[in-house]
Structure 1
Amino acid sequence: MAVPPVSEARLTALASRIRRVSWASLVWLAVEGVVAIIAGLSTGSIALLGYGLDSAVQSLGSGVIVWRFTGRRIGSAAAEQQAQKIVATSFFLLAPYLIVAALSQLLAGTPSEGSWVGVALAAVGIVLMPLFGRAKRRLGVLAESAATAGEGAQHLICAGLSATILSGLFLNVAFGVWWADPMAALILAAVAVHTGTRTWRGESC
């Protein structure tokens, strides 16, 4: 059976909920990104710096979703496509930096300093990002918005990514396994490319 189109009143109500969730995720990701980037620069952690840049990218994505569901754009198919492309492109811009920086650190054998701040940050991300992710995926499906559902999938991936980063940071801090940090960054780069590709196509991850 064909799925009936979303009514204008229903879409307006969903848009309000989507904006609230997106604003909440934007605020957290902005804080997370700033703290992670500062900690990554101070300790020389490529993974932590990449995690901060990833948070910045996702905060951009949340901002795009707010833009997408504001004013006349709520029912606009063109705005939906633009939102998908912007979110996808932001992930493609992240990957090259991570790959070059991580390989440079691995080849040079230069260890980074441990960061308990990074460990705590990633641990909080494991808890919060699934909440944002599930909410956006559900609302995106209800509003027939691949951009919103795709960004929700990115938040869920971010939760798994937080676990990967957490493992790498903990191994570095607790046991001095320095190469775990750039390896985590390479995983982050691969995830960024995969997520960006699927979002560009309008597919959930």
Structure 2
Amino acid sequence: MGIRAAPPTDHQAVARRIRRVSWSSLVWLGIEGVVATAVGIATGSVALLGYGLDSAIQSLGSGVIIWRFTGRRITSADAERRAQRVVAVSFFLLAPYIAGAALTQLLTATPPHASWAGVALAAIGMILMPVFGRAKRRLGVEAGSAATSGEGSQHLICAALSATILTGLVLNATLGWWWADPTAALVLAVASLGTGIRTWRGRGC
């Protein structure tokens, strides 16, 4: 189904709401990315490192959406196309790194250390990201912006990935199933690639 544009008189109001949601998601993603990367490095968790990089990539997406809905770009079709492509390309850059790191860990049988901090981070992501995701998808429809709607879909995928990574981390922490962590990272890589393709085509999930 196509994305319906909001009436012209609503552009400024919708743009303000999009910027507010995007700034909120940008702040959280910044915190999430720093913590996940630090814990991932400390514990040797590929999934958490990928999660941190994913947060950084999504931060770029939120920043692009803020740029897209600032000033004269609010009604610019060219700005919309650029924002859509940047969000998509960012995911194309992320997927190969995560997949390579996860496969390396699986092939070398290198176990990560159990991380309850990672468990807590993923659990918070499961709660917050659907809030941002649904808001951006709704506002993207109102603004006729595939870039915004796609960014919202990415947040919803991030919530699903949080659940996947949470499962992997819990299994590693409680049962010692080290392979669950890089397996979760591979799921993240595949989902990131699929999201990039859908965003490039201007589709939601």
Band the TM-score falls in, shorter-chain normalisation:
over 0.9
Show the 5 A alignment for 1:159-198: 159-198=159-198
Q: Which stretches of structure 1, 4 residues or longer, exceed 4 Å deviation after superposition?
A: none
Deviations 1:64-112 (A, max 9, x none): 0000000000000000000000000000101111111111110101101
Counterparts of 1:111-122 in structure 2 under 5 Å?
A: 111-122=111-122
CA distance in 1, matches of 2:176, 2:85: 40
Structure 1 residue runs of 5 or longer lacking an equivalent are none
**Paired position in structure 1 for 2:12:** 12
In the other structure, the counterpart of 2:123 is 123
Matches within 5 A, 1:15-34: 15-34=15-34
Q: State the match for 1:97 in structure 2.
A: 97
Q: Distance in 1 between matches of 2:175 and 2:48?
A: 17
- Write the letter of the residue equivalent to 2:6: V
Quote the sequence identity (%).
68
Contact in 1 for aligned 2:15/2:70 (Cα 8 Å): yes
Question: Could you tell me the TM-score, scaled by structure 2's length?
Answer: 0.97
How many residues end up aligned between the 2 structures? Answer: 203
Q: TM-score, normalised by structure 1?
A: 0.97
**1:129-172 CA distance string (max 9 Å, x none):** 00000100000001100000110011111110000000001111
Measure how far apart 1:5 and its partner are.
Answer: 5.3
> What is the rounded CA distance, in whole Å, between the counterparts of 1:5 and 1:133 in structure 2?
19
Letter in 2 for 1:8: P
Check 1:166–1:17 CA distance in 2 against 1; reply closer, same or farther (3 A cut): same
Cα distance per residue 1:1-47 (max 9 Å; x no partner): xx985333301100000000000000000100000000001111000
Q: Does 1:84 align with 2:84?
A: yes
**What residue identity is the alignment partner of 2:149?**
A
CA separation of 1:187 and 1:9: change in aligned 2, threshold 3 A:
same
Specify the alignment match of 1:60 in structure 2: 60
For residues 4 and 60 of structure 1, the distance between their equivalents in structure 2, rounded to whole angstroms, comes to 25
Name the residue aligned to 2:110: 110
CA contact (8 A) 2:4 2:144 kept: no
C-alpha distance in structure 2 between counterparts of 1:99 and 1:149, whole Å? 26
Letter in 1 for 2:179: W
Q: CA separation of 1:4/1:83 partners in 2, compared to 1, >3 Å: closer, same or farther?
A: closer
Tell me how large the CA RMSD over aligned residues is. 1.1
Residue 196 of structure 2 aligns to which amino acid in structure 1? Answer: G
